[in-house]
Amino acid sequence: MMATKAACLVCQIVENKIPSKKVYEDEFVLAVLDVNGAVPGHCFVMPKNHYSIIEQVPDIEIGRLFQASNKISSAIFESLGVQGTNIFVANGVPAGQTVAHFTINVIPRKDNDGINLQWQPKQLSEEEMSTVELKLKEQTKNIGHFEKEEKKPRAYAAKPKIISEEEEEYFTKQMRRLT
Ligand SMILES: [Zn+2]
């Protein structure tokens, strides 16, 4: 696989090197309209610090990101006259992630808007489900231990993050883990 060493697109948006339509900004979070969105009002909510996938984002920033997403969802309800929103993360390449910078999508929804986020429900086997339940229970024992450190806001003059070969590798490895 070719190692890519390109400046992260999202970091360039954060640094104003790529113009964007900003709908919200604070020291940790930036939210912009997706120019190629599903509908007008489709927002990207992202950390100003560079993280490829959700597992890398510190708890404090996750909190701030979902708080902002919730408020943006409310703003969409108030101002765009929609009946619903989808708030979702494409975490990893197989999940549809296209840029190596963690992003939350907030999508305005109306009845019969033609946006398809649905999957076919299946009848899963009891045995399979039990195995998965045990595996997950084992791994989720530590949920509830939150990081205490508050991450410093990103310095504004910082250069857009260059994705290193190492990070690219990590990203790819995480992707495989998620399949
Ligand atoms: Zn980035």
Q: Please give the distance, rounded to the nearest whole angstrom, from the Cα atom of residue 131 to the centre of ligand 1.
A: 36
Q: Please give the distance, rounded to the nearest whole angstrom, from the Cα atom of residue 160 to the centre of ligand 1.
A: 7
Asked if residues 75 and 85 have their Cβ atoms less than 8 Å apart, the reply is: no
144, part of any domain: no
Residue 156: give the domain boundaries.
9-112+152-178
Short-list 41, 44, 16, CA closest to 30: 44
Q: Please give the distance, rounded to the nearest whole angstrom, from the Cα atom of residue 161 to the centre of ligand 1.
A: 6
Per-residue pLDDT at 148: 72
118, part of any domain: no
Rounded mean pLDDT for each run of 10 residues along the chain, 179 residues in total: 65 94 96 92 97 94 97 96 96 94 97 90 92 94 75 57 66 55
147, part of any domain: no
99, part of any domain: yes
Q: Which CATH number does the domain housing residue 36 bear?
A: 3.30.428.10
46, part of any domain: yes
Q: What is the DSSP string of the chain?
A: -PPP--B-HHHHHHTTSS---EEEE-SSEEEEE-TT-SSTT-EEEEESS--SSGGGS-HHHHHHHHHHHHHHHHHHHHHH--SEEEEE---SGGGT--SSS--EEEEEE-TT-------------HHHHHHHHHHHHHHTTTTT----PPPPPPPTTPPPPBPPHHHHHHHHHHHHHH-
Q: Please give the distance, rounded to the nearest whole angstrom, from the Cα atom of residue 52 to the centre of ligand 1.
A: 7
32, part of any domain: yes
3, part of any domain: no
Instruction: Provide the number of structural domains found in the chain.
Output: 1
143, part of any domain: no
